[in-house]
């Protein structure tokens, strides 16, 4: 339960964070809330030699109403997302999902940026990001760039971020369709989702139905073609490859995906 030895560096500015990351190269990892990374390090599944603590970068913790979109700083904690009046009004899907991550103690530390960059398909916020069709802003040695959410998740725990790039902001356009729903199925309240579904209007994203966070293309196409919630939900498992593990078989996950998608679409419709 003790991490392997490493060197700790603290970044006082975003620039310094990027510089420290360049310096550390392959051996370095950013440390935000630490609630994805430190658990892995404590079990020695991850053994980075350098940790660059970006947790003090207050300039990256914000939720702002900007021109046409909501801007969320990458280091905004789940707790703050959960309790944000702005999000409750404009992006309740994000507020609700953030409030379901882990437990209250975890939510006081974990950040949206940390969660997205960790890119675990069993986590809730990647699916929410996809359902909100967010745009991510990353800062690297050669400056800032934007990455579409749909381009962000590349593989198992793999994102489009280049080595040394720091995620700084998540931009979400005000959704045209206001109906939303977040369905997270667990055995216990604190468990990771066995399966989850995030819906914003006609966009549907799944939690834990694949090794990479993904949208439910079959469902979306059916909705666009005019299918109602139940008919569209029947397509929920199409194109997915859920694992069979100690928590559920693939077949059960596929079934849950259909059931939860139907419930999510019905709930979203009731909120339109």
- Residue in 28, 102, 202, 242 binding other proteins, rule: CB under 8 A: 102
- Residue in 173, 249, 269, 270 binding other proteins, rule: CB under 8 A: 249
- Residue in 88, 106, 160, 266 binding other proteins, rule: CB under 8 A: 106
- Smallest distance from the beta carbon of 219 to other proteins, in angstroms? 17
What is the CA angle 208-102-94, rounded to 5?
70
Give dist(CA 34, CA 40) in Å, integer.
10
- Smallest distance from the beta carbon of 54 to other proteins, in angstroms? 11
Residues 6+ apart with CB under 8 A from 129: 116, 136, 149, 152, 170, 205, 213
Q: Which residues pair with 111 in a beta bridge?
A: 77
Decide if 95 contacts 88 (C-beta within 8 A).
yes
Helix, strand or coil, per DSSP, at residue 150? helix
Stretch of residues binding other proteins (CB under 8 A), selected from 2-10, 12-20, 129-137, 199-207: 2-10
Q: Which is nearer to other proteins, 189 or 225 (CB)?
A: 189
- Residue in 133, 160, 231, 252 binding other proteins, rule: CB under 8 A: 252
Give dist(CA 140, CA 2) in Å, integer.
31
Stretch of residues binding other proteins (CB under 8 A), selected from 1-9, 20-28, 67-75, 218-226: 1-9
The two three-digit tokens of residue 192, written as one number: 């990771």
Binding pattern for the stretch 186-205 against other proteins, x by CB under 8 A and - elsewhere: -xxxxxx-x-----------
Q: How far is CA 238 from CA 59, 142, 195, 244, 253, in A?
A: 41, 40, 14, 16, 12
List residues binding other proteins (CB under 8 A). Answer: 1-8, 10, 31, 34-35, 38-39, 42-44, 51, 53, 55, 79, 102-106, 108-109, 185, 187-192, 194, 246, 248-249, 252, 255-256, 259
């Amino acid at each position: 339960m003790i991490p392997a030895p490493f060197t700790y560096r603290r970044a006082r500015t975003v620039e310094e964070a990027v510089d420290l990351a360049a310096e550390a190269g392959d051996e370095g990892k950013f440390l935000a809330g630490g609630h994805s990374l430190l658990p892995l390090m404590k079990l020695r599944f991850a053994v980075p030699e350098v940790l660059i603590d970006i947790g003090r970068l207050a300039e990256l913790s914000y939720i702002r109403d900007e021109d046409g979109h909501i801007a969320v700083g990458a280091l905004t904690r789940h707790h703050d997302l959960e309790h944000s009046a702005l999000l409750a009004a404009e992006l309740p899907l994000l507020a609700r999902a953030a409030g379901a991550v882990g437990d209250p103690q975890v939510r006081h530390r974990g950040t949206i940026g940390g969660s997205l960059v960790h890119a675990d398909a069993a986590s809730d916020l990647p699916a929410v990001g996809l359902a909100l069709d967010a745009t991510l802003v990353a800062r690297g040695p050669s400056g800032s760039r934007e990455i579409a959410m749909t381009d962000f998740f590349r593989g198992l725990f793999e994102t489009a971020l280049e080595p040394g790039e720091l995620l700084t902001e998540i931009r979400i356009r005000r959704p045209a369709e206001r109906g939303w729903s977040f369905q997270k199925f667990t055995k216990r309240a604190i468990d990771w989702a066995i399966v989850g579904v995030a819906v914003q209007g006609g966009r549907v994203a799944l939690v834990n139905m694949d090794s990479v966070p993904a949208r439910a293309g079959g469902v979306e196409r059916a909705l666009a073609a005019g299918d109602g919630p139940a008919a569209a939900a029947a397509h929920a498992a199409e194109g997915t490859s859920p694992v069979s593990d100690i928590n559920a078989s693939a077949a059960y996950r596929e079934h849950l995906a259909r059931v939860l998608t139907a419930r999510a679409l019905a709930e979203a419709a009731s909120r339109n």
